Structure 1
């Protein structure tokens, strides 16, 4: 797997009449070990989340419930991904600006992260992010 490119990862799905199950294993289904898990929920209609990039952190975003859109920007290309299946994850590499929007009612965005929380790992403004991209 090319860890420099955003991509949809199809996760294992165990189908059962009683309900389906999906699992994720470190460095097997995703290209990193999970150091942090968090989730976004109760996002009011019309609101957006994200609006930042990470210097070192990689993530996998999953629509655990409902749906939402993710806009990813590497400084040259901007692309929208619609997440609405709990067995698909969107891999977000380092140095990728991300915005989350268009949350359906009751949606839950599950995030698996490659690093512990570190406020120094963030680009908080798009201008700061683009300046760093231009320097590379």
Structure 2
């Protein structure tokens, strides 16, 4: 994959909209293209992450431990798998498997954090983005709380 191709893929990835074109090129340089066969585990629940994957092609399934029969399918080109792994080494909460032939662009946390340290405005945009996403998730949970009772 050419550097410009990788930068274009990052440009299509929703999370990496926080980066300007030059920052995406720098991340693309540090990124690695990976290919997976159908059924391959991209990462497993509990794994210590080293970064995030951007879906280039194919379909992946996301499952939680104990819910393997109810996978969530992801096939959107540019979907970022494991966004939080770009900033913290928290164990993976889900298992991601290739449903068919899958290609990803792996973005190492070390590269993203180095860039965030060099560009404080990028770090601020990343923090704002993550804060908005977490607030959205928490809002959805709070909205459900009344339906399921307090516990």
TM-score normalised by length of structure 1: 0.43
Greater fraction strand:
1
Larger Rg: 2
Greater fraction helix:
2
